[in-house]
Amino acid sequence: MAAERETEIPLTDEAIDAFLNEMRTRDCKTCSLNSYRQILSGLAAYLPPGSGICETTGGEWKAWMEERGYSRRTINARLSAYNSFLKYMGKREWQETDFSKKPDSIQPELTRAEYIRLLKTAKRLGREREYLLIKLMGSAGVRSQELDRVTAEAVRDGSIRTESYHRKRLLRLPDCLRKELLSYARREGIQKGPLFLARDGTPLVRSTVWSCVNGISSDARVDEEKVNPRSLFRLYCGTRDGLEAGIRAMAEQAYERILEEEQLEIGWEE
């Protein structure tokens, strides 16, 4: 592990500032500099705590963005900024050359209101398993390939540990969902192990999960193209990202008010 750490490039605020200063000397436009900062800051947030950039980071980041439904244009713009940073750091051999080729087809987005309608319909029809699968993906951010990690032990603990694209995640279960899962496990007689399995006892495959959640769409009067694990995960990400952006904006506004009040009190000019 120590050897691996030595080969990583730390992506710190100082490293980003130094890169931007270098780009500024090359007459890089302000809008481009701002874009570079935003992209590299996003990459820093994506990396696991205490980790830096390594040889496989570019490919893993690209796969993660594709999984979250980012457009080809967005992914490639971010990889271009990533490659520019690596060039500055003297690691051109780590640059990502396999840019995204995913089609930029317009896929209809699942709205929050439609998501609620799916849950209400599943409840009305008495399809508890489908109800819980939809809620796990739409409210807790669990991917279809991670459902085998939703065990009785994990639900009792209140969190699910997953790993995808060499990146570990700790998902906290909302208390309301945790209680529903515990009740489901008690009724099904599940005391340990995964809560959702196929009839032969193996983990659910993606096609089965897709069929389960998509089967609710007709009764819920929701376009079936919108009802799938990927759309549910995007809804979860979009909701969380929107809330976090709102909180950041409120924090910035509060900070600006503090500075304005201080300026009125001790500003150089009256």
Output the domain CATH number for residue 226.
1.10.443.10
pLDDT at 4: 41
Asked if residue 115 lies in contact with residue 138, where contact means CB atoms within 8 angstroms, the answer is yes
For residues 14 and 90, state if they share a domain.
yes
Q: What 3-state DSSP class applies to 190?
A: coil
d(CA 162, CA 170): 6
Q: Distance between the two ends of the chain, CA-based, in angstroms?
A: 58
Residue 141 included in any domain: yes
Residue 256 included in any domain: no
For residues 116 and 85, state if they share a domain.
no
d(CA 36, CA 42): 10
Which residues, given as ranges, of the chain have pLDDT below 70?
A: 1-6, 102-107, 164-167, 270
pLDDT at 107: 63
pLDDT at 61: 92
For residues 6 and 66, state if they share a domain.
yes
Supply the CATH number for residue 38's domain: 1.10.150.130
Domain that holds residue 43: 2-94
For residues 126 and 225, state if they share a domain.
yes
pLDDT at 3: 39
Domain boundary among 61, 94, 127: 94
For residues 137 and 87, state if they share a domain.
no
Q: Give residue 269's region: left, alpha or beta (phi > 0; psi -120 to 50).
A: beta
For residues 88 and 143, state if they share a domain.
no
d(CA 199, CA 134): 20
Residue 104 included in any domain: no
Domain boundary among 41, 67, 94: 94
Residue 232 included in any domain: yes
Q: How far is CA 140 from the centre of its chain?
A: 11
Q: What 3-state DSSP class applies to 170?
A: strand
E strands, the chain, are: 159-164, 167-172
Residue 125 included in any domain: yes
**Structure confidence by residue, pLDDT tens digits, 34-65:** 888 989 988 988 888 888 999 999 999 988 88
**Structure confidence by residue, pLDDT tens digits, 132-144:** 999 999 999 998 8
- Whose tokens are 């050897």? That residue is 3
Mean pLDDT estimate for the chain: 86
pLDDT at 152: 94
- Whose tokens are 């991670």? That residue is 146
For residues 87 and 159, state if they share a domain.
no
